[in-house]
């Protein structure tokens, strides 16, 4: 079973790229983030034509999360228990579904904007709520197979950014954000991709501006975190850097794990 995550940065603009890759990559379940459309605007039919069922949560042109699966979609939930809201309004940032026995959560963690912005506090609260809820899932069922996947908007280590100096006053690398990510790992959700993609300069995101991609100026901010029962099934993982190339790509690359 192959599970992938991809911040597609507008599914309507990139549906052909996404479905073409799905077919070539032989992926069973794809979690998408930043779909940037409402539910009635999501281009479902190209996925159906390939044999995928799709669930989507989107309210407007911002955010948006989806899951496409060719191995079934059951027990769909929009948002996790305790998920904070922003300015008293719901955001499409978390979508869960069970696919062939694996509980997949497509997550688009708040950006944080700047360290002195209220959105930064919201980001930390959002991550703390996710940690508490996810820990509760494992308390209830230690053998649960859970994949927390998506765009985390955090580079957990210095190796995960092309220049520590460049980002020193920015979000994504601050100690509180990194601590929030580590707290989820400490709640027994392991980064199941890193063991297969070691070393520096293994990024998942490159800005569109200033030739960031060809210059290698990226960040590693897209992750698949697995519960103990899921982690022990992982036999391979990769960051598909090639999908950042070509015509009108997303600024993120897909991340894939293979389960025994």
Give the tens place of pLDDT for each residue, 84-116.
999 877 799 999 999 999 999 999 999 999 999
What is the sign, positive or negative, of the torsion defined by CA atoms of 166, 198, 93, 133?
A: negative
- Residues annotated in the binding site, as ranges? 7, 34, 151, 153, 251-252
The reply to whether the predicted model has a pTM over 0.95 is yes
The reported pLDDT for the residue numbered 82 is 96
Is residue 21 within a helix (H) or strand (E), and if so which, with residue range?
helix 11-25
Active site residue 236: no
The CA distances from residue 155 to 55, 132, 178, in Å, are 28, 21, 7
Catalytic entry in 28, 191, 203, 252: 252
Residue 151 annotated among the catalytic residues of the structure:
yes
**pLDDT by residue, tens only, the chain of 260 residues:** 999 999 999 999 999 999 999 999 999 999 999 999 999 999 999 999 999 999 999 998 889 999 999 999 999 999 999 999 998 777 999 999 999 999 999 999 999 999 999 999 999 999 999 999 999 999 999 999 999 999 999 999 999 999 999 999 899 999 999 999 999 999 999 999 999 999 889 999 999 999 999 999 999 999 999 999 999 999 999 999 999 999 999 999 999 999 99
**How many Å apart are CA 85 and CA 225, to the nearest integer?**
23
Task: Report the DSSP beta bridge partners of residue 137.
Answer: none
Which tokens in the block code for residue 11?
A: 């599914």
pLDDT at 60: 86
Strand bridging mode 65-69 / 53-57: antiparallel
Going by the annotation, the residues of the binding site for Mg(2+) are 7, 34, 151, 153, 251-252
Catalytic choice (56, 120, 151, 205): 151
Q: Mind listing the domains of the chain with CATH numbers?
A: 2-259 (3.60.10.10)
Q: Among 52, 108, 122, 203, which one carries the catalytic annotation?
A: 108
């Amino acid at each position: 079973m192959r599970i992938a995550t991809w911040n597609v940065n507008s599914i309507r603009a990139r549906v052909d790229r996404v479905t073409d890759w799905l077919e070539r990559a032989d992926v069973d379940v794809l979690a998408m983030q930043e779909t940037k459309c409402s539910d009635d605007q999501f281009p479902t039919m190209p996925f159906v034509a390939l044999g995928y069922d799709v669930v989507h949560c989107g309210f407007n042109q911002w955010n948006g999360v989806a899951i496409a699966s060719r191995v079934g979609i059951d027990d769909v939930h929009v948002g996790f228990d305790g998920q904070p809201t922003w300015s008293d309004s719901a955001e499409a940032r978390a979508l869960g579904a069970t696919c062939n026995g694996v509980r997949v959560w497509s997550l688009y963690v708040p950006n944080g904007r700047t360290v002195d912005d209220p959105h930064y506090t919201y980001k930390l609260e959002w991550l703390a709520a996710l940690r508490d809820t996810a820990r509760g899932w494992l308390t209830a069922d230690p053998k649960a197979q859970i994949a927390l996947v998506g765009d985390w908007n955090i580079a957990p280590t210095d190796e995960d950014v092309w220049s520590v100096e460049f980002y020193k006053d920015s979000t994504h690398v601050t100690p509180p954000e990194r601590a929030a990510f580590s707290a989820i790992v400490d709640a027994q959700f392991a980064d199941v991709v890193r063991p297969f993609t070691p070393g520096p300069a293994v990024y998942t995101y490159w800005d569109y501006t200033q030739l960031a991609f060809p210059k290698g100026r990226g960040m590693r901010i897209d992750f698949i975190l697995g519960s103990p029962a899921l982690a022990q099934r992982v036999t391979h993982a990769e960051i598909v850097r090639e999908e950042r190339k070509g015509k009108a790509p997303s600024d993120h690359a897909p991340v894939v794990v293979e389960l025994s």
